[in-house]
Amino acid sequence: MKNLLLLSTMSISIFATTIPLHVELDLYQNKAFINKTFELTQNREITTKVPQDINIEDIRYTLEDGCLMDDGILEKITDQKRDQNKSEITYKIEALKAKTNLLKTISLKDIIDSEQIENMSTLLVDNLTKNMLEIDKLNKELKELNTQSKLDYKKLKLSFTCKDENAKLKVSYPLNSIRYTPFYNISADINNKSVTIEKQAVLLYKGAQNYDDIDLNIYSYRYNQNITPQHFYPKYLGQKKVIMYAKSVATMDSMQNLAIKNRDVSYQEIDTKSLYKIKDVSLKSEKKNLLRVDKSILDASFKTVIDAYGTNKAYMQATIKTKKDYSAAQANYFLNQNSIASKYMNKIQKETQTKLYFGEDEHIGIQKELIKTLDEKTFFGDKKISTQNWKYTITNKKPYSTDIEFITRVPISKNAEIKVKTLAQPKFNKQNAKGKTTWDFRLDANSKKEIIFGYEISNSK
């Protein structure tokens, strides 16, 4: 197969393109590829448009058995008249800037007549204003021409030889003029004990060629992600732990005036990843498409979680288990159709219990009261003992019973001479090695529950 040739710049002309049998768009989280499938007819030649930023090495070909590529030519198409206009505008802007600088150097200090000074000042101001307005106008014209230049394309001309008729050729290349922004609408329904996860996406395309009835393949991962395990390094004691920073929240596109069309959507799992396929999407330049990618209604269990170790507030929690993976993205949260929050959602793995939170539960009251704080020594002076004790009063203001998970913590000792004893009434349900201490209970409507919690720290000599 001969190498593709990139011809020198030529003036723009209208050429007949070969209509592809099928067009698909592969969308990754950070990149897009377009795939055009052609039927190889007897004229042994196809011609198609590709974006101007595509190079020879970016284009991939898939030919059926019995076919050979004879030649390929990539011609750069430009508009010479537009390029000439850009040059003329650039020269005018430079000339006006030079004139402006010259006007600024004119001095009035040697002029004595006040009327002459006033006339000269007015003339200078008028000329400077006129120049700046003209420069601003020319800059806008230049910006518009540069925008048009970005929509230029190249002509890809391929010739081939096939043993059989009606063979197929697929041409693939990156499509950098597209922006894919996925997001979720996550709605909790307490009455029906369910959570709905609806995945949508905004697709914005800027290009010289529009497409009708294009099929989308939406992959769950980033293109050119880490494809190999990390290099193995020995772990040495005493090294500082790397600080992990939370992922920043991305700004979402405005959803106003975007119509959603019901399309044929399917979910598939390939060998190592998953993808959604959406058929018959219209891809028009400078137009946003709002895609409905997926919608699942999941069974959920709800309870109120109280973080007595932190904010000392109650939060609504839903626990779900999905049958498919959900990639991380920005999400809008709703509780019984009321908007709650917009925040980044981490990846959800299928068949794994996942906890989602829907904001503060203001109908659960928490009152914290210090009972005891005391530092003392034993009679023989061989131990120092510090005691902290609190009383929590939890009130359910709702007209129905609520499941509660009350969480607090005790200090953890890594010194054999320092002992920590948990003081709790009633006794907690579980406590882990990190000091996380949990009570699980159901609180009836309009009722209260008291929890006495504290700890005793003893330090031997």
If asked whether residues 384 and 440 sit together in one domain, one would say yes
- Distance separating alpha carbons of residues 218 and 139, to the nearest angstrom: 39
The answer to whether the CB of 284 falls within 8 A of the CB of 207 is no
The pLDDT assigned to 44 comes to 76
Q: Which of 360, 394, 413 is the last residue of a domain?
A: 360
Same domain, 258 and 316: yes
Cα distances (Å, whole numbers) of residue 323 to 292, 348, 397: 19, 10, 36
The answer to the question of residue 228 being in a domain is no
Asked if residue 93 belongs to a domain, the reply is: yes
Q: Are residues 280 and 338 in the same domain?
A: yes
123-152: buried (b, 16+ CB within 10 Å) or exposed (e) per residue?
A: eeeeeeeebeeebeebeeebeeeeeeeeeb
The answer to whether residues 132 and 25 belong to one domain is no
The three-class DSSP label of residue 73 is strand
Q: How far is CA 95 from the centre of its chain?
A: 45
Q: Which of 451, 437, 281, 459 is nearest to 366 (CA)?
A: 451
d(CA 268, CA 271): 10
Please check whether residue 435 lies inside any domain of the structure: yes
DSSP code at position 326: B
Same domain, 375 and 415: yes
Residues 52 and 156 in one domain: yes
Strand order in the sheet with 167-174: 60-63, 167-174, 32-40, 22-27, 211-219, 274-283, 265-269
Q: Tokens at residue 400, please?
A: 């129905």
Q: Is the same domain home to 456 and 372?
A: yes
Task: Indicate whether 218 and 306 sit together in one domain.
Answer: yes
Q: What is the 3-state secondary structure (H, E, C) of 258-296?
A: CCCCCCCEEEEECCCCEEEEEEEEEECCCEEEEEEEEEE
d(CA 169, CA 64): 7
CB 394 within 8 A of CB 306: yes
Whether 230 is in a domain gets the answer: no
Which residues make Cβ contacts (< 8 Å) with residue 421, sequence separation at least 6?
Answer: 455, 456, 457, 458
Structure tokens at 215: 């099929």
Tens place of pLDDT per residue across the chain (461 aa): 444 554 444 444 455 678 889 999 999 888 999 999 988 776 678 888 888 888 888 889 888 887 887 887 888 776 677 778 888 888 888 888 888 888 778 777 777 777 777 777 888 888 888 888 988 888 888 888 776 666 567 888 888 888 777 788 899 999 888 888 999 999 999 999 999 999 999 999 887 778 888 999 998 877 876 667 777 677 665 555 554 444 444 444 444 444 445 467 888 877 777 888 999 888 888 888 889 999 999 999 999 999 999 899 999 999 999 999 898 999 999 999 899 999 999 999 999 999 999 999 999 999 999 998 887 776 556 668 889 899 999 999 999 999 999 999 999 888 888 889 999 999 999 999 999 999 999 999 999 999 999 999 888 75
What single DSSP character describes residue 128? H
Calculate the alpha carbon distances from 400 to 340, 357, 364, 365 in Å: 22, 20, 12, 15
Same domain for 311 and 373, yes or no, is no
The pLDDT value given to residue 364: 96
**pLDDT for the residue 111:** 74
Determine contact, residues 384/441, Cβ cutoff 8 Å: no
- What would the DSSP string read from start to end of 332-370? EEEETTEEEEEEEE--B-TTSEEEEEEEE-TTEEEEEEE
**Tokens 């529009």 sit at which residue?**
210
Q: How many domains does the structure of the chain reveal?
A: 4
| 234 domain-assigned | no
324 touches 289 (CB < 8 A): no
Q: For residues 302 and 353, what is the distance between their CA atoms, to the nearest angstrom? A: 13
* Alpha-helical segments (H) within 163-224: none
Confirm whether 247 is domain-assigned.
no
For residues 283 and 369, membership in a common domain is answered with: no
Given strand 353-360, what is the order of strands in its sheet? 353-360, 314-321, 301-307, 402-409, 436-443, 430-431
Q: Is 245 a domain residue?
A: no
Q: What is the CATH number of the domain that holds 64?
A: 2.60.40
Structural contact between residues 313 and 406, judged by C-beta atoms closer than 8 angstroms: no
Asked, for residue 309, whether it belongs to a domain, the answer is yes
pLDDT (0 to 100) of residue 11: 45
207/342 same-domain check: yes
Rounded Cα–Cα distance for residues 340 and 65 (Å): 56
Enumerate residues 6+ apart whose C-beta is below 8 A from 390.
368, 369, 370, 371, 452, 453, 454
**Same-domain pairing of 184 and 316:** yes
Expressed as residue numbers, the domain containing 51 is 4-79+152-174
For 208, which DSSP code? S
In the prediction, which pLDDT does 260 show?
45
Rounded CA separation 317/353 (Å): 12
Q: How far is CA 452 from CA 194, 371, 388, 447, in A?
A: 34, 9, 11, 17
Record the tokens describing residue 427, joined without a space. 């006794």
Burial class (CB in 10 A: 0-12, 13-18, 19+), 175: buried
